[in-house]
Chain A
Amino acid sequence: MTSLPKTPPAKRLGLVIDLDTCVGCHACAVNCKEWNTGGYPAPLSDPDPYGAAPEGVWLNRIHGFEATPESGDGRTVHFPKSCLHCQDAPCVTVCPTGASYKREEDGIVLVREDLCIGCKLCSWACPYGAREYDGMTGVMKKCTLCIDRIYNDNLDEVDRVPACVSTCPASARHFGDFNDPDSNVSRLTAEREGMDLMPELGCQPTNKYLPPRPRRTESATAELPTAEGGFLGWVDKLLSR
C-alpha cells in the first residue's frame, strides 16, 4: 500500500551525517555498493564497468561543495547523500503499484522490486535525487538502511548497522532511532543543531546533517615561539654571527 502509515511509526530509524568530520574518502559509498549489490536490492547494475564511461547504480554518493563568504576563507565540505527516509515521503504516495512503501514499524522506505513496473515516477517525486533507476533490471533502487544488516541475527551485534556507518573511518555517520530521545542520533542532533536538507519542500526528512563547526581562529593568530633569551636565544645568537 503506497499510502503513508496512518499512525507514526513506533521507531524512526535513520542516520546522522556529520559534515564536520567527513573526510570525503568515499568508503561509505563503496561499502554500500559492495553490500547492497549482493543484498536486498541486488544487483546494483553497472553497464560497462570497465569501459570508457563507467556508470552504474549507487545508493550513496559523496558530493563536494565549497561555501565562500563575502570576506575571509571559504569552506570545503564533503557531502555524503543517501535516502533521507522522509516522514512525508512523496516517493511513496506517487507509486501506482504499491511497490514503494514506508514501513509501519520503523519508518524505513523500501521498494518491493517484484511489484515495481519501472515507471520512474518516484524518482521524479523525490526532491533529493535519492532513488536511482536500474536500466538492466528495469526497477527502481534505493537505500534500504541496510535492512538486511540491522535486523540480521547472523551478524555480531556490533555489525548490525548500515554498511556506510560500519565502514566510516572518521565516524561521520551514525545510525539510530530518532524517536528515542536518549539515542545517539537524537543526542547528536540536539547537541550539534542537526539540520534538515531543503526543509522548505516539506518532506520532513528523518536523516539529519550536522553542520561543520565554526572554524577555530586562534591557531592562525597565536604567537609562535621566538628565539629570545634562554637556550634557543643563545643558539640563535651563536649561529647568527
Chain B
Amino acid sequence: MHPAYSVIFFTTASGAGYGLLVLLGIGAPLKLLPTDRWFGLSGLVLALGLITFGLLASTYHLGHPERAWRAMSQWRSSWLSREGVAALATYVPAGLFFIGWVFLDRTDGFWGLMGVLSAVGGFVTVWCTGKIYATLKAIPRWNNGWTVPIYQLLSLASGALLASLLAALFGGAGLTWPLGIALIAGFASWASKAAYWSYIDKQQPRATIESATGLGRFGQVSLIEPPHTEPNYLQKEMGFQVARKHSLKLRRLAHLVGFAVPLALAIVAVYAVPALALLAAAAAMAAGLLVERWLFFAEARHTQSLYYGEKAV
C-alpha cells in the first residue's frame, strides 16, 4: 500500500496526542500527575495540538477536503466515519476539561469527570483508527488481531512518554505513574510489533493468482500481458514496492530507534537527568514510529495486485 505522508503524520501525531489525553484525563483527577494549571495548560495544548495537527494533516490526502464534514454521517457502517465522529466528540469533554483545569484550577468533580470522558474519547478514537485497517479483508497483513491493539499500545506508549517528559520538565513531581505506563506500554508494544512482524512473515496466503482468475484448474497461472503500458492508479496506490526491498533494514531501524533507544532512555530517566533523557526518548520514538508507520503501509499487500502479476497475497 502506498504510504501517504498525510496519513502517516495523522496516525502517529494524533495517536500520541490521544495517548497523552488519556494520561491527562485519568491522571489529573486521580492526582497521579501534577494538578497545577500550568502543567494542565502545557499538557492539554500539546495533546490537542498534536491531535488537531494530525486531523488536519489527514484531510490533505482527500480529493475534496471541503466536503470532509460529510464523513460524520455514516457511523452506522463505516469505521472511518466512526473515527471522525469520535474525534470531534472528544473535543467537547476535552474543551471543558481544559476550562476547568486551566481557568478554574479544578480537576475534581464535574471537571474531573470531563477528564475521564476525554480519556475515553481518545481511547475510542484510536480504536476506530485501528479498526479502519483491521477490517479490510483485501489486505491480510492488516486484517488480523494485531492491528487494533498495536495502534492502541503505540498511542499509549508515545502519549505516556510525552506526559513523563512534561512531568520531568515541571520538576519531577508525579513522574512515577506516567513513566511506569510509558515503560509498560512501550515494552508491550515492542513485543507486539515483533510478534506482528513474525506473524506476517509466516502468514498463509489468503488468495492466489489461481483463485483470483479461477484458472488454477488449467495449471500454474502467470500474468503475460498487463492491460496497459503505463502503471495505473491501482498499481501506484496498492502495488507499492520501495519498502519491501528494504523492509528488513527498516524493521531493524524501527526496533532500534522506535523502541530500544527510547525505552533505554526512559529507564535512565528513572535514575538521572529525567528531563534530558525523556526529551531524547520522545524524539527517538517519534522518528522510530514514523518508520514503523511507513512500514505498516508499505509492507501491506493488496489482493488486487494478483491481477497485476503478484502470485499470492
A residues near B (Cβ < 8 Å) are 1-4, 19, 24, 29, 53-55, 57-58, 61-70, 74-77, 79, 81, 90, 92-99, 115-121, 123-129, 132-135, 137-139, 195-203, 209, 211-212
- Chain A proximity mask over B129-147: 1 for CB below 8 Å, otherwise 0: 0001001111100000000
29 contacts between A and B (CB under 8 A): A1-B76, A3-B76, A4-B77, A63-B226, A65-B224, A67-B216, A75-B218, A76-B224, A79-B307, A90-B136, A90-B137, A93-B78, A94-B135, A97-B67, A121-B80, A123-B238, A124-B136, A124-B238, A127-B304, A133-B63, A138-B64, A139-B63, A197-B211, A197-B212, A197-B214, A200-B206, A200-B207, A201-B206, A203-B137
Please name all residues of chain A whose beta carbon is closer than 8 Å to the beta carbon of B233 when the two chains form the complex.
55, 57, 123, 132-133, 135
Please name all residues of chain B whose beta carbon is closer than 8 Å to the beta carbon of A61 when the two chains form the complex.
227-228, 232
Please name all residues of chain B whose beta carbon is closer than 8 Å to the beta carbon of A70 when the two chains form the complex.
219
B201, chain A: closest CB distance, angstroms: 21
Q: A66-B221, A124-B1, A137-B63 are in contact. Are A97 and B138 (CB under 8 A)?
A: no
Q: A63-B307, A117-B71, A123-B237 are in contact. Are A211 and B220 (CB under 8 A)?
A: no
Interface: B193 (CB within 8 A)? no
- The number of A-B residue pairs with CB atoms under 8 Å apart is 214
A81, chain B: closest CB distance, angstroms: 6
Question: Which among B65, B71, B228 is the interface contact of A96 at CB below 8 angstroms?
Answer: B71
Are B63 and A95 touching (Cβ within 8 A)? no
Are A75 and B64 touching (Cβ within 8 A)? no
Are B222 and A68 touching (Cβ within 8 A)? yes
- Chain A proximity mask over B145-181: 1 for CB below 8 Å, otherwise 0: 0000000000000000000000000000000000000
Secondary structure of the A side of the interface?
loop
Are A117 and B215 touching (Cβ within 8 A)? no
Interface: B62 (CB within 8 A)? yes
Are A211 and B217 touching (Cβ within 8 A)? yes
- Chain A proximity mask over B104-143: 1 for CB below 8 Å, otherwise 0: 0000000000000000000000000000100111110000
Are B218 and A212 touching (Cβ within 8 A)? yes
Are B225 and A1 touching (Cβ within 8 A)? no
Please name all residues of chain B whose beta carbon is closer than 8 Å to the beta carbon of A77 when the two chains form the complex.
213, 215, 218
Are B222 and A117 touching (Cβ within 8 A)? no
Are A3 and B212 touching (Cβ within 8 A)? no
Q: A67-B215, A197-B214, A199-B211 are in contact. Are A123 and B137 (CB under 8 A)?
A: no
Please name all residues of chain B whose beta carbon is closer than 8 Å to the beta carbon of A57 when the two chains form the complex.
233
Q: A94-B132, A124-B138 are in contact. List 8 more A-B contacts (CB 8 A).
A: A1-B74, A62-B227, A63-B223, A68-B219, A69-B219, A117-B70, A124-B237, A125-B137
Are A132 and B232 touching (Cβ within 8 A)? yes
Are A29 and B84 touching (Cβ within 8 A)? no
Interface: B194 (CB within 8 A)? no
Question: Which among B76, B78, B138, B223 is the interface contact of A65 at CB below 8 angstroms?
Answer: B223
B residues near A (Cβ < 8 Å) are 1, 61-65, 67-68, 70-74, 76-81, 84, 132, 135-139, 206-207, 209, 211-234, 237-238, 302-308
Are A200 and B211 touching (Cβ within 8 A)? yes
Please name all residues of chain A whose beta carbon is closer than 8 Å to the beta carbon of B229 when the two chains form the complex.
54
Are A79 and B234 touching (Cβ within 8 A)? no
Please name all residues of chain B whose beta carbon is closer than 8 Å to the beta carbon of A119 when the two chains form the complex.
61-63, 71, 80
Are A65 and B70 touching (Cβ within 8 A)? no
Q: A69-B218, A129-B307 are in contact. Are A96 and B138 (CB under 8 A)?
A: no
Please name all residues of chain B whose beta carbon is closer than 8 Å to the beta carbon of A117 when the two chains form the complex.
62-65, 67-68, 70-71
B304, chain A: closest CB distance, angstroms: 3
Task: Report the bound CA distance from A128 to B216 in whole Å.
Answer: 17
Are B224 and A98 touching (Cβ within 8 A)? no
Task: Report the bound CA distance from A25 to B84 in whole Å.
Answer: 45
Q: Name the residue in A29, A90, A119 with the highest tally of chain B Cβ atoms < 10 Å from its Cβ.
A: A119
Are B64 and A139 touching (Cβ within 8 A)? yes
Q: Name the residue in A24, A129, A199 with the highest tally of chain B Cβ atoms < 10 Å from its Cβ.
A: A129
Task: Report the bound CA distance from A68 to B227 in whole Å.
Answer: 20
Q: Name the residue in B62, B64, B84, B136 with the highest tally of chain A Cβ atoms < 10 Å from its Cβ.
A: B64
Please name all residues of chain A whose beta carbon is closer than 8 Å to the beta carbon of B1 when the two chains form the complex.
124
A201, chain B: closest CB distance, angstroms: 6
Are A98 and B136 touching (Cβ within 8 A)? no
Task: Report the bound CA distance from A172 to B167 in whole Å.
Answer: 70
